[in-house]
A and B are shown apart, each in its own frame.
Chain A
Amino acid sequence: MSSSVTTDPAVASDLSSPGRLRADGPLADSSASERPPGEPRRVGYLYALPALLFFGLFVLAPLGHAAWLSLFEWDGLTDKEWVGLDNYADVVSDPELRRAFGHAAVLLIFYSALPICLGLLLAGVVARTRVRGLALFRTILFLPQVIALVVVAAMWKMIYDPETGPLNRALRSVGLDSLEQNWLGGFDIALPSVGFIGTWVMYGLAMILFMAGVQKIPPSLYDAARVDGAGPLREFLAVTLPGLRGELAVALTLTTIAALRNFDIVYITTAGGPGTATTVPAFQVYQRVFEFPRVGSAAAVGICLLAVIFLLALLINRTAERGTATR
């Protein structure tokens, strides 16, 4: 695991070689000899400085500001009132916020678990068979990932419309009237409907990652498995799945983040409704800032959301790394 800013010694020495200030050369060399090879020199920070400045200004500063605001009760207009950690206590005790985090957990299934299963399935199929026009299929299957989420959401809102939407119309036209749903307006079906949009968007990403990963697995492993008489399922479990461990970690991380910070799809399709049936943490943040003047609470929700995402991402990557180490 490498956590430093400049990691590769080759790159570091590359940067400090001939073209650079000559006076620096011997100095750098002498200091370099005092520590173990591979340990970066202080001058490395200088190279990272512009990036760090931007990072500080546009990521850390707003983050710090948000953390600061989360300790107050503030309507955005009058003076702030110090409330300490009360806003964080609310995240746990406020039923609406609890519900929002619960919905985010449900969306994890739709945004993360389902797309990854679908992606694995598709990758597994491709790994075993030669498909004609694979590039075309890949492009089509990946397409949802390329469209702007706002467009995706607006499109699905039309598809789900109970009267004029193609989904209910199709059901009616084949006589399945009983299956007609109030997709985005029913209290029980709205969240899965929103989640399904996420599945549709995210599976292309998972699929591309896994397909690329599969191509990396040496064909000899497949041959060996086949010689040993492995069936498709066995082959998938013994060869494809272990070979995709790294890609799996990446896909899990990306889809989990997308699931938890989901805002645009909810905002456009349901605005958290009906009632609060599809409200999610990011939408609560938005509402608390722009609709109800509760900026402190919004900041607290945002920080909690960040913490949850950060912890999950860490967990996923730790698990994946441990796996690689023991293999």
Chain B
Amino acid sequence: MTMRKVMRGLTVLLAFTLFLAACGDDDDDGGNAGSGKKVDVAKAGDVTLTVLDQQVRSGQDAALKRLNAEFMKRYPNVTIERTNRSFEDLQKTVRLAVTRPDAPDIVQANQGYGIMGALAKANILLPLDDYAEAYGWNERYSEGLLAFNSFSPDGSKFGTGNLYGISQAGEIVGIFYNKDKVAEPPQTMADFEALLQKAKAEGDIGIQLGNAGDDKYGGIHDYETVLGRTASKEQVRDFVFGKSGGAFNSPEFEQAAAKFQEWNDAGYLTPKVNGTAYDAAVERFAKGDGYFFIGGTWNIATLKDAMGDRVGFFILPGEAESDEPIALGGEDLPWTITRKSENPDVAAAYIDFITNENAVKVLVETGNLPAPPVPAADRPKSGLEADVFEQWDRLNEADGLIPYLDYAYDTAYDDIGGGIQELLDGQEDPKEFVDSIQTKYSEFIEGL
């Protein structure tokens, strides 16, 4: 037997498999489009709802478990089958999950072009506008929060068009401070920088930051916190929502990069920041190392457990005390319904149930910051949570939340995060940083 024969055999096999591969693509979504109306779930017959979520942190998980149990108790005809993954894992598997024949009824699909835009374009998600009307979601959420979960049906415009989901929890990326070291939150940017300097002089760390490897979000959050103070909120929103005129290479974006780099060069940040894991930075701050830690409100439970009353929360002040509040934030991943769902009406009732007034109460009790308004009686009165609620109100009142930069285009997380790593290492100067992101951003926008 010769090599030639083997090759001939392999060629035939290869041709066959190519053929198999080519005819393997068929699409059939078995679901129904739903009535768009409020239905009586008790009369919907036996229903199994499959839910794919990312509520794995202790507070989130506790809230959802309670709400699921309450829902099933109220409607014994409904069974909820829940699968939960960490945020990172969900991001990577959600596309596969929703394209399977047995796709979940309900999935937490992240905001932005990367996931929600792509799923809207592929016609995988059910628009929920009729349900929003029926259940009064438009009154439950502020306009800004609804916009985060909206997309044009062709996936090209973020922040307008159909409503594809609603969120449970609000999010602010703000500054946690160690009360032993910082008596009062600073009122101006100059005050804040003076504190950073003081920390440095004492041999302490100004801002704890872990930005190693895939923990790039640490750097993105810090950069964007500064960005909120150099650029206007419209500039950031225009960039993220892909509006005409939105750009990353504006002087304000460059200024933020310069300031952040300056802080690092001055020794205000964790040393060897690109080699430090995010969790390690959180842990060190929790142990009392460092003045500040910039992070999301999802860190509340961890920090409170470790630091008790010695931790507080504020958002980065502007030049003047009277500057309106601006901070990175929004809401957690929206609950969306897939078109493959057999029971969209029940799914909508479920989503309503986990975000209604009762749910808000449960969320507060389990240490979460609900996205819908919280009645005064249910609010935490003191401590870290009270700080967070206060900032949330201020931000919503002033319409001061700016969206995550990595919503802006499909590879934004990697590009911006990697760019910030280069910035902090001095591999790139601020101008090169904003220009390289702008190049990739324009390519994406032109391709829409």
Contact = CB atoms under 8 A, between A and B. Distances in A.
Among A161, A185, A290, the most chain B Cβ lie within 10 Å of the Cβ of: A185
Contacts of B124: 77
Given A4-B6, A39-B1, A186-B425, A61 B276 contact: no
Contacts of B10: 60
Nearest to B283: A164
Interface in B1-58: 1-3, 6, 10, 13-14, 16-18, 20-22, 24
A138 B95 CA distance: 47
B276 A273 contact: no
Interface string A1-24: 001110000000000000000000
Interface string A31-63: 000000001100000000000100010001101
B1 A273 contact: no
A246 interface: no
Contacts, number: 133
Interface string B391-427: 0000000000000000000110110001101100101
B229 interface: no
A264 interface: no
Nearest to A266: B213
Nearest to A168: B272
Interface stretch (A64-72, A115-123, A300-308): A64-72
A192 interface: no
B119 interface: yes
A76 interface: yes
A275 B99 CA distance: 32
Contacts of A161: 275-277, 280
A29 interface: no
A64 B418 contact: no
Given A67-B18, A77-B121, A275 B275 contact: no
Main secondary structure of the interface of B (DSSP, over half): helix
B275 A183 contact: yes
Contact of B422 (A3, A163, A274, A291): A274
B214 interface: yes
Contact of A3 (B1, B271, B275): B1
Given A3-B2, A182-B275, A287-B414, A274 B425 contact: yes
Contact of A274 (B1, B14, B274, B284): B274
B212 interface: yes
A275 B422 contact: yes
Interface in B279-322: 280, 284
Interface size bracket, B side: 35 or more
Interface string A168-191: 000000000000001111110000
Contacts of A52: 13
A30 interface: no
A310 interface: no
Interface in A240-274: 269-274
A290 B411 CA distance: 11
B91 A60 contact: no
B134 interface: no
Contacts of A270: 212-213
Given A3-B2, A270-B213, A61 B418 contact: no
Contacts of A68: 18, 21-22
Given A5-B1, A63-B17, A69-B21, 9 more contacts: A52-B13, A61-B20, A64-B17, A161-B280, A162-B275, A184-B213, A274-B274, A291-B411, A291-B414
Interface in A67-88: 67-69, 75-78
A51 to B, nearest CB: 13
A187 B422 contact: yes
28 contacts: A5-B1, A56-B17, A60-B13, A64-B20, A65-B18, A68-B18, A68-B22, A69-B21, A75-B122, A76-B95, A160-B275, A161-B280, A162-B276, A163-B272, A163-B276, A163-B280, A164-B280, A185-B211, A185-B276, A185-B425, A187-B425, A273-B274, A274-B274, A274-B418, A275-B418, A291-B413, A291-B414, A292-B410
Interface residues of A, number: 43
A69 B18 CA distance: 10
Contacts of A69: 21
B34 to A, nearest CB: 21
Interface of A: 3-5, 39-40, 52, 56, 60-61, 63-65, 67-69, 75-78, 160-164, 182-187, 269-276, 287, 290-293
B427 A275 contact: yes
B272 A182 contact: yes
Contact of B17 (A65, A163, A182, A272): A65
A224 to B, nearest CB: 40
B210 to A, nearest CB: 10
A271 B214 contact: yes
A297 B121 CA distance: 20
A186 B212 CA distance: 10
What 4 pairs between A and B have smallest CB-CB spacing?
A185-B275, A64-B17, A185-B274, A4-B1
Among B20, B272, B275, B418, the most chain A Cβ lie within 10 Å of the Cβ of: B275
A77 B275 CA distance: 35
B410 A186 contact: no
B221 interface: no
Interface string B252-268: 00000000000000000
Contact of A273 (B13, B21, B95, B214): B214
A144 to B, nearest CB: 22
A271 B213 contact: yes
Nearest to B281: A163
A273 B410 contact: no
B419 A185 contact: no
Contact of A60 (B17, B92, B93, B214): B17
Nearest to A62: B17
Interface string B105-121: 00000000000001101
A187 B421 CA distance: 9
